[in-house]
Amino acid sequence: MREARLRTSGRPGLGAAILLAVLLPASCRRESPPESRAAAATPVPTRSRDEDVASRTPRPKGPRTSVIWLGFDGLDFELVDRLAAEGRMPNWKRLAAEGYTARLKSFSPPFSPIVWTTIATGVSPDVHRVLDFQEIDPKSGAKVPISGSSRAVPAIWNVASAEGRTVGVVGWWATHPAEEVNGFFVSDHASPILFEGLPRAGVAYPPALTAGVDQIVAREGAVSNEELSRFLDVPADQIAQSRGAGLTNPVDALARTLGATRVEQRIARELYDRHTPDLMAVYFEGTDVVGHVFAPFVPPKLDCVSEADFRRYGRAVDEYYADVDRLLGQWMRRAQEDGATLVVNSDHGFKWGSDRWCDASLLTNPSMSASWHRLDGVFAAWGARVRPSPERGAASVFDVAPTISALLGLPVDRAETGRPIAAAFANLSAPAREPLFGKIAVRRVESAAPSAGDSDEYARRLKSLGYLSGSEAPRLEPTGGDHPGLTEVAWNNLGVYLRDNTKEFANAEAALRKAIDLTPKYSTPLFNLAVLYRMRDMDQKAIDWLFRSFAAGHAHPEDTILNWYVGFDDRKRPAAAREILERGARTYPASESIARELALVRYHAKDCAAAWQGVSPFESTTRSVETLNAMALIQTCLGRRAESIGLLRRSLEIDPAQAGPRQALQLLEAGKPAAR
């Protein structure tokens, strides 16, 4: 069996005693505080804006070219290209101009732990088994934060360690407790966004690093009110009042996001400079969180966003990404000085433009939060061995691990389906394919199980970001054994993955039904099963399961009914189209929009009496020109000219610019039949 060979001697700095010194001196060293300036005039410097270290010792030249690998969650070309063009991200502009970029296709569901584990392993979620933000404690049935123990296969850093490469990993999703590698490892529990205040036992390998990590978290994670004023147009007293309110409050969410970004950067930079490993992998969560909080407020202003909120929060994203660009520049410097290849990628994109939903609440709606994600993410390469190209290529999240493996001269497992992104590099040989996963042991440091209170707090934070609905069960039956069990959310996500990406409908149905068996009133798998049946043209079954999901609390049922109606109508399935409206009208009798659409369907079927019966309850109260115009049409069909004229006049009083209704009114007033 191939074991990870952990060196504690040889190249200086990998012994536990020396590793302890990596973080402690840095975390105890206080830099001279920058001068404060008024936020309205000149930006207030923060630690993340500080200059890089003045000097550092470059990586010694050797036979291997190292890789610096940066993961930015939710990074999207539309935003970074705009900011680069505006001069807010000069380092990104240089990287894109001198390197290679490609649109990186992700998959559904595009949730961070799932996709980042695919990126790190090269295999699909049904193989690696990280499928949720939570897992089940096999002994108690309690839901706890997702851990590396859920991962069923080694990651690329385990392969690199086993092949004798030195490795550094900081912050990667679903990696707690820290893994024993040939180098250093800091798990995702160092991040203040979801794990602030929760125990960090097991956060670092070697364990002696933990004290230094704690000090950096305390120092870099503390964001002052003055620092926040650079990102917000909010009075200082309101900023102070918002602190401690949790991720549902934009000010507090921004503070945690800034703190997490600074913590991840400082830990990674300090450790990298001491050890310059062959593979350095760093993950930044804030680029996604800042989107989930502030995407509705970036220019151009959405109609649904108030002028006051647009003013308060409109510059937060641009300022945050300017900080990200400075961090990127520090890694570009290191890649250049060390002769390394710099790889940057995201797990998915994010909607920043005209495709944004005009409803900020959807950002934190568990049924819709992922709909803010674009499946096209970012891949970029710069530095040693990179073949520059002005053209933007195309790749998949499954291609990232084989690409990193090829750059490091590592084999890949036969289960990996991706291919190296050869267009980005000069003379990149495809890695050898071997049965690796069964030969490499993944060892983790000891870590205490989270308390019930810690797990509950983590779940509350997930809910605030739209990743839990509250309808999930707080605990499930113990699964037994030594490995964590899959939650109902995990089974749902597995079903969605199989349904949408592999079209394995039978397996997808089985996974979704497993989620429902675990939590019968969990609306999401009920809805996803309805979608599966619709995809298979099983219309009646699809509609039945759709309404079961509504009964269980699925969000926005009226809009969903209308969208499904349009879908059935476009696909020339009139029976299903009418059925969903008929059932929708019975289930939601107060819905004017459903009643109107059903009335028009009945009108076109020449059943004008039934059409009027369905829509007439809204006659005295409606302020919708669409409803008034539909009523006028139906009344004309029934021969009630005077009533139709009155309805058209009401409609034109609300919106005088309507050409069609005005022409119809003129015809009716002239005693001629209106066009139908």
pLDDT in tens, 415-424: 999 999 999 9
pLDDT in tens, 33-71: 333 323 333 333 344 456 799 999 999 998 889 999 999
In terms of Cα–Cα distance, which of 116, 161, 413 is closest to 277?
A: 161
Interstrand relation of 341-345 and 279-284 (parallel, antiparallel or unpaired): unpaired
* Residues 121, 155 contacting (CB under 8 angstroms): yes
Question: What's residue 367's pLDDT?
Answer: 53
The band of 247, judged by pLDDT with boundaries at 50, 70 and 90, is: confident
Q: Could you give the 3-state DSSP secondary structure of residue 100? A: strand
Q: How far is CA 16 from CA 8, 22, 171, 203, 255, in A?
A: 7, 10, 20, 15, 33
CATH number of 480-669: 1.10.260.40, 3.30.300.30, 3.30.43.10, 1.25.40.10? 1.25.40.10
- Which has the minimum average pLDDT: 210-224, 264-278, 465-479? 465-479
Distance CA 583, CA 595 (A): 11
- Which has the minimum average pLDDT: 461-465, 635-639, 646-650? 461-465
In terms of Cα–Cα distance, which of 385, 414, 391, 384 is closest to 402?
A: 414
- Which has the minimum average pLDDT: 5-14, 400-409, 419-428? 5-14
Distance CA 505, CA 510 (A): 9
Question: What's residue 18's pLDDT?
Answer: 28
Q: Is the peptide bond before 520 cis (omega within 30 degrees of 0)?
A: no
Question: What's residue 673's pLDDT?
Answer: 63
Distance CA 225, CA 483 (A): 43
* Residues 268, 188 contacting (CB under 8 angstroms): no
- Helical packing angle, 523-535 and 505-518, nearest 10°: 160
Question: What's residue 26's pLDDT?
Answer: 36
- Rg of the chain, C-alpha, whole Å: 28
Average pLDDT over residues 69-98: 98
> How is the chain split into domains, by residue range?
66-434, 480-669
- Type of residue found at 194: L
pLDDT in tens, 127-155: 999 999 999 999 999 999 999 999 999 99
- Type of residue found at 644: S
Q: Is the pLDDT of residue 12 over 70?
A: no
pLDDT in tens, 256-308: 999 999 999 999 999 999 999 999 999 999 999 999 899 999 999 998 899 99
Mean predicted lDDT score pLDDT of the chain = 90
- Type of residue found at 132: D
* Residues 1, 439 contacting (CB under 8 angstroms): yes
Q: Which residues of 123-145 are buried (b: 16+ CB within 10 A; e: fewer)?
A: bbbbbbbbbbbbbbbbeebbbbb
Distance CA 438, CA 82 (A): 45
Average pLDDT over residues 365-381: 82
Alpha carbon 530 to chain centroid, angstroms: 24
- Type of residue found at 437: F
Question: What's residue 265's pLDDT?
Answer: 97
Domain 66-434 is classified in which CATH homologous superfamily? Alkaline Phosphatase, subunit A (3.40.720.10)
Tokens of 386: 């990179």
Q: How far is CA 671 from CA 229, 519, 637, 644, in A?
A: 66, 62, 15, 12
Average pLDDT over residues 153-162: 98
- Which has the minimum average pLDDT: 33-37, 502-506, 524-528? 33-37
The band of 197, judged by pLDDT with boundaries at 50, 70 and 90, is: confident
Q: How far is CA 475 from CA 139, 140, 146, 387, 554, in A?
A: 11, 8, 14, 51, 21
8-state DSSP, 382: E
The band of 10, judged by pLDDT with boundaries at 50, 70 and 90, is: very low
Distance CA 286, CA 259 (A): 9
**Phi (first) and psi of residue 381, to 5 degrees:** -135, 145
Q: Could you give the 3-state DSSP secondary structure of residue 98? A: helix
Distance CA 521, CA 526 (A): 8
